[in-house]
Structure 1
Amino acid sequence: MQRRILLGAGIIVSIVLLFKFCEFKKEDDSSLDYNTNLIQQQIVNVGKLVVTEGHFAEVVTYKDQNKYLMDMVSFEKKAIVIVNAEVTVAYDLRQVKYDIDEKNKTITIVNIPKEEIKISPDIKYYDVEQSQMNPFTGDDYNKINKIVRANLAKKIEKSSLKSNAKNRLISELSKILILTNSMGWKLKYEGNVIESETDFNQKMKG
């Protein structure tokens, strides 16, 4: 009789322990699902277009000359070109690719898109001089447009516009870093754990 009682008590204890284990497992899985969903939602919130704007101005003198009769006769055309350009540097964060490792509680940024640079020049012509033998044509305006865009591209490279845009990009991505840190997860990029905005800066500017 006593054996039966002990055996019954042992079975009851085993059932209780099994129930507790299953309950603990369920809570752990629920917590993991909650954390993963929260991180995925934050990624969706960050996924937007980040745009940095700048204004540039320049003056270009355009000249072209047609020569005839062994260069004894020439017909010149020229113009002063005033350029005011709006430039935007954008990152489409909807194109950022991530890998979520629930087991190791790690978010890996797989790909960050390159910046998109858009130049919108407003070109005005002054002091235009031409002749019937050498008039302005569509080719001239195409050449001027190429010269203007090339000059603007050089100015953009020398300016702080691209670095300002990259700083805004890092600021947006850091929202994910703050969340992962607060939840005990890790954020990785290019094989390294990202622990601060400084780490982002070093990886993206290095």
Structure 2
Amino acid sequence: MDFLTTVLLLIVGGGAGVALSNVLRKRSGITDVRRESTLLLERIEKVFKVVMAEGYFSEIYNYQDQKKILYLFNDPKKAMIIAKSKVLVGFDFAKVRFRQPENGEKKLIIESFPAPEVLSIDTDYNFYDIQAGILNHFHGEDYTRILDEAKQAMNERAMQSDLPKIANNQIQYMMYQLASSMGWQLQLPEAEQQQLEALKAQAEEPIAAPKQLPIG
């Protein structure tokens, strides 16, 4: 057997072996899936953000894009997205401005306190009823824009809910209790101080004793 014949037999035998291996793998239900990921760390920042309220939201978002073909007829594409989100609302304490009286009095004066903000949104998206046009197809940037718009809508909905008010009440009363436990007085800006006084009054209201039912 000459060298060329030997090489041909090896090639044919190797090809047959690969084909047989693929057939057996398909029959056994085993698939060879390879995934690669690259993690890039851009930066690390020190933050002091406190979560004071969390809410759970569901949103149905309808997306539609109209495109005219030859200025004659519309070629729409549309999709329906159902988003379920967990929204965390709290405060960035790096924005707090405070001072202590010069006479050394145990009093913390808050000159400026930030408004509550959405600290994070953890969203699960599901796409339904995706309909592409004849020539107006969906592309990667379309899905990115849809998700960004849905997330922005969820952010606005969260800020229009009771979450900011709940977070405000929580942080004010928490700071008051913390200062009181250390023997300090807390003074907030006028509007926030009025809210705190109302919260303190509610907390100090005695709980009415249950009425006794008449016997007999």
Deviates more, 1:47-56 or 1:123-132: 47-56
- Which position in structure 2 is the counterpart of 1:187? 186
Cα distance, 1:69–1:190 mapped onto 2, change above 3 Å:
closer
User: What TM-score do you get using the length of structure 1 for normalisation?
Assistant: 0.59
Instruction: Give the Å deviation of 1:49.
Output: 2.3
Instruction: Give the Å deviation of 1:89.
Output: 0.4
User: What TM-score do you get using the length of structure 2 for normalisation?
Assistant: 0.56
Pairing of 1:52-131 with structure 2 (within 5 A): 52-72=53-73, 74-93=74-93, 96-101=96-101, 103=103, 105=105, 106-117=107-118, 118-131=120-133
Partner of 2:91, secondary structure, is strand
Instruction: Give the Å deviation of 1:85.
Output: 1.1
Report Cα offsets for 1:61-110 as digits up to 9, x if no partner: 211122223323x4221111111111110224476443222626232123
Q: 1:165 aligns with which of 154, 164, 167?
A: 167
Report Cα offsets for 1:170-192 as digits up to 9, x if no partner: 12111245247xx5x64333379
5+ long unaligned stretches in structure 1: 1-46, 202-206
Partner of 2:67, secondary structure, is strand
Cα distance, 1:67–1:198 mapped onto 2, change above 3 Å:
same
Partner of 1:122, secondary structure, is strand
8 A contact 1:177–1:195 mirrored in 2: no
Cα distance, 1:61–1:94 mapped onto 2, change above 3 Å:
closer
Instruction: Give the Å deviation of 1:138.
Output: 2.8
Q: Give, in whole Å, the separation in 2 of the partners of 1:75 and 1:196.
A: 55
Partner of 1:151, secondary structure, is helix
Partner of 1:101, secondary structure, is coil
Instruction: Give the Å deviation of 1:60.
Output: 1.5
Instruction: Give the Å deviation of 1:131.
Output: 4.3
Residue identity over aligned pairs, in percent, reads 26
Report Cα offsets for 1:103-152 as digits up to 9, x if no partner: 26232123323433122322211111114621112332233223313322
Q: Give, in whole Å, the separation in 2 of the partners of 1:191 and 1:90.
A: 21
Higher share in strand: 1
Pairing of 1:27-38 with structure 2 (within 5 A): none
Higher share in helix: 1
Partner of 1:139, secondary structure, is helix
Cα distance, 1:129–1:98 mapped onto 2, change above 3 Å:
same
Partner of 1:124, secondary structure, is strand
Q: Give, in whole Å, the separation in 2 of the partners of 1:158 and 1:58.
A: 14
5+ long unaligned stretches in structure 2: 1-47, 201-216
Name the aligned partner's letter for residue 60 of structure 2. Answer: V
